Amino acid sequence: MLHLMDPINSALRRVPAWLLYPLGALPVAWLFWAGIRGDLGVDPVKAIEHWLGLWGLWLLIATLAITPLQRHAGLRLVRFRRAIGLLGFYYIAAHLAVWLVLDVQIPAQIWGDILKRPYITIGMVAFVLMIPLALTSNNWALRRLGGERWRRLHRLTYLVVPLGAVHFVMVVKGWQVEPFYYLAAILGLLALRLRPGRMLRSRSAART
């Protein structure tokens, strides 16, 4: 397995991580352009809102997949994780902005919706929890916090991403399968991180 990944990994080493930012901006630009042109069907606001939310969720799920892919398949993508995570944050921020500005439109109703509607409350909580992660996704913050504190903070991802999927499960009408696939994938990716042996060892180490 490792031998198989070697050429891929060495090719990936030559790809600069910053390239992901302009690449990640392209779908968003295309989405708004298509909406203006009328290519997104008769309700472009909902379409843009939905695609931004869905692509944001995909990117966040991708960040969770990077460690298991390295550990179990030998694929080294850690260099790209920051860019993928930040892009996920930007997509979700854009999703939220479209909801506020183009969909709900009425400021008084927005606040009421955030407080009263559990799926919006959960979505907002997940977004707010992402803000410190986005703000500390740079080398300066990493140095200031120190590796251990930075890692502990960024474990919030394990909460944020499932909350995003729960938000999706709750927003659809009836029991639709698609959001459950994402929730299951996320829980699977989180389960791959659990290493019972190591957890027991670190717990007994903490006790001594």
- The residues of the shown chain that bind another protein, judged by CB under 8 A, are 35-36, 38, 41-46, 48, 102-106, 109, 112-113, 116-119, 170-177
CB of 41 to another protein, least distance (A): 6
Residue 28 φ/ψ, nearest 5 degrees: -70, -45
Q: What is the dihedral of CA 5, 10, 13, 19, to 10 degrees?
A: -80
CB of 164 to another protein, least distance (A): 17
> Can you tell me which residue has the tokens 């994402």?
182
Start-to-end C-alpha separation, the chain: 39
How far, in Å, CA of 113 to CA of 99, rounded? Answer: 11
Cα 208 to Cα 189: distance, rounded to the nearest angstrom:
31
Nearer to another protein, 27 or 118 (CB): 118
φ/ψ of 118, rounded to 5, equals: -55, -35
Query: With b meaning 16 or more CB within 10 Å and e meaning fewer, what string describes 95-114?
Result: bbebbeeeebeeeeebeebe
**Minimum CB distance to another protein smaller for 111 or for 158:** 111
